[in-house]
Amino acid sequence: MLQPILAGVIGAVTGFASSFALVIAGLLAVGATPAEAASGLLALCLGQAFVAIALSWRYRLPLSFAWSTPGAALLIAAEGTTGSYAAAIGAFIVAGLLIVLTGLWGPLGRAMTRIPMPLAGAMLAGILFPICLAPVTAVVDEPLLAIPVVLVWLVLVRLAPRWAVPAAMVVAVAAIALTASQSRMLDASVAPAFVLTLPVLDPLVIFSLGVPLYIVTMAGQNVPGFAVLRTFAYEPVPARAILVASGGMTVLTAFFSGFTLNLAALSAALMAGPDSHPDPRRRWVAPIAGGVAYVLLGLVAGVATAVVAAAPPILIIAVAGLAMLGAFTTGLVSAFEAPETRLTAAATLIVVASGVVVAGIGSAFWGLVAGAIVLLVTTGRPRRRAAAKDVSGAIDSH
């Protein structure tokens, strides 16, 4: 059992180190205090650990879960548009309820898995574009801090790609510890604690943040997660249980500043593949070990938040930008793959990346609207063959 246990721990550590700063920065962007951001990171760690352990044990399948990294990027893009943090919490809850509904109601599941890829890929790329620009800005604004981070990332992308972003984060944390204000570090609470925030249901914030958060989580995380499991011949997949459990846990953790939880995609390849164990029947141990590791990692949520709060914001976003380059590239490729829908993809990406706010609703929503209009005008109807990978059969049958 040592091999799957190690795979689970490595998957958890690399997943946490690669994107915890993005999670904290996203929560701070939509109005969270440092204590609320630390609470959110703790809640997400414990929530995904519980779901992974429970479902992997129940179905004897390597079912690993994660927070929505594109969702965290969306939070950063939504900075200043939520009005109040309580309204953002309300949007998180709505996104979780929509995920639950997707698992319970077949037509919605089929609709979500057939979102035209020019729309889904371009929306994802548009959300990530400003973040992926951050390493360039950081090298200019904070060269002494940012250049070592970029160089370490670049070297390890060639030598050990899995560790490139975690190593870059370690270098960034070291630079922060050496240069940040010691008083700011000491003033921050490092003890993990839940902070309850009661939600406010603001229709504008729900359309601006909640609906796009649901879409990027489904199209950018859950659908690829199902595809990874099918790649390793895990069929049938309990899709309904996965969506209901992750959506329900999203609703629960939202009260403590957590946002969307979903089936893992990148770490799933490690835990469900042969690196975990040669025997597929033994790999379910890996996400259980990863869940235990996430419980322990949640205990450092306060320290992680203190580090991020003490850092130059551009440096944290720069590391996140390095982590998101792969997802940004994937979004671009899927968006512009079909020549006949490239205009649709371009319109969606430009509107989303613009960051415009119209009638109090952010650019992610308006990008989808603009892309849908262009798609209908140029093709006459949505093109199903440009759709996302279909997992609706699994949702219907389970």
What pLDDT, on a 0 to 100 scale, did the predictor assign at position 385? 42
Longest CA span, the chain: 60
For residues 194-232, one letter each, b for 16 or more C-beta atoms within 10 angstroms of the residue's C-beta and e for the rest, the string is bbebebbebebbbbbbbbbbbbbbbbbbbbbbbbbbeeb
Query: CB neighbours of 368 closer than 8 A, spacing ≥ 6?
Result: 119, 123, 212, 215, 348, 352
Q: How far apart are CA 32 and CA 222, in angstroms?
A: 26
What pLDDT, on a 0 to 100 scale, did the predictor assign at position 102? 92
Q: How far is the CA of 45 from the CAs of 67, 86, 370, in angstroms? A: 8, 21, 36
φ/ψ region of 372 (left if φ > 0, alpha if ψ in -120 to 50, else beta) reads: alpha
Q: How far apart are CA 186 and CA 174, in angstroms?
A: 16
Task: Note the pTM of the prediction, 2 decimals.
Answer: 0.80
Pull the structure tokens for residue 190.
Answer: 């490092």
> Are 283 and 276 within 8 A, CB to CB?
yes
What pLDDT, on a 0 to 100 scale, did the predictor assign at position 199? 94
Mapping DSSP to helix (H, G, I), strand (E, B) and coil, where does residue 238 land?
A: coil
Q: Which residues of the chain have pLDDT under 50?
A: 183, 186, 383-398
What pLDDT, on a 0 to 100 scale, did the predictor assign at position 58? 94
Q: Is the dihedral of CA 40, 42, 43, 47 positive or negative?
A: positive
The neighbour count for residue 162, using CB atoms within 10 Å, is 15
What pLDDT, on a 0 to 100 scale, did the predictor assign at position 189? 54
pLDDT digits (tens, 9 = 90+) for 3-48: 888 888 888 887 887 788 889 989 998 999 988 999 999 999 999 9
